[in-house]
Homo-oligomer: A and B are copies of this chain.
Amino acid sequence: MTLTTYEQAQGKGQSALRTALLDTASGLLVDEGPGALSMRRIAAAAGCSTTVLYTLFGGKDGLVEALYIEGFARFRRRFETVHDDDPPGYLWALGRAYRDNALAERNYYGLMFEKPIPGFQPSPEALRAAGETFDYLERAVRACLDHGRIAPGDPRVIAESFWSVVHGVVSLELAGHLSDPEAVFMAAITACAPRFEPGAHPDDPKEGTCPAVS
C-alpha cells in the first residue's frame, strides 16, 4: 500500500513532520496560488486531519508565516549563486537576481509582499528575518563604498533604496501596470547608475538604449 505524505514523515519525528507538511503547503502555493492554502486542503493533500496543523503551527497564521520565511530563504539561496568581482557589477547582478526570482516564484513573491491571506501579518521576528535577507544588498553597497565606486552615505539607507527601486518595478510588473517591464526595469536601475562609474559593468547598456541616462 502507498503511504500518505503524513504517514511517511510520522516516524521521523516532529521536525520531519513539520517540514513535510510545509512542503505540501508550499506545493499548493506554487501550483495553485495562495487561494489554495486552506487548512482542509493542506491536510487532505498531506493525508491527515487539520488537528495536526494546529498542534504544529498554532493556526493558519503560523503556517503562513513559515511559508513567508521560506520565501525569503529562497531569495537568499538565489543571492548566494550570484558572483561578480566588480562591486557595482555585483550589486547590479543582485538586482537582476531579485527580479528573476520574483518572476520565477511569483506566488511566493505574492505571499511575501502582497497580502493574499486576509488576517496574516508577519510577526516582528519574521519581519526582521525577512529584512536580514537583504543584508546581501547592504554588503554589496559596502563593497562599493570601500572601493570608492559610490557616493558616501549610510549603507543601510542606500541598500534599502536600491531594494525599493527593484521591488517597485517588479511589483508593478506583476500587477500588470507596466507597458514594457524590461525597459522600465533597465531605466529604473540605470537611473541609479550615475552612482557608479560609467561602463563599470559588462551588462551596462550602451548609451542611448536607456532613456534615463544621458
Contact = CB atoms under 8 A, between A and B. Distances in A.
Contacts of A151: 211-214
The main secondary structure of chain A at its interface with chain B is helix
Contact of A163 (B110, B131, B172, B194): B172
A171 B166 CA distance: 12
Given A131-B177, A164-B165, A187 B157 contact: yes
Contacts of A175: 113
A212 B158 contact: yes
A176 to B, nearest CB: 6
A158 B187 contact: yes
Number of copies: 2
Contacts of A116: 115-116, 118
7 contacts: A151-B214, A152-B211, A153-B212, A160-B187, A161-B184, A161-B187, A164-B178
Given A157-B183, A192-B212, 15 more contacts: A110-B115, A116-B116, A118-B118, A127-B177, A151-B213, A157-B184, A158-B187, A164-B171, A165-B165, A165-B191, A167-B168, A167-B172, A168-B171, A191-B191, A194-B194
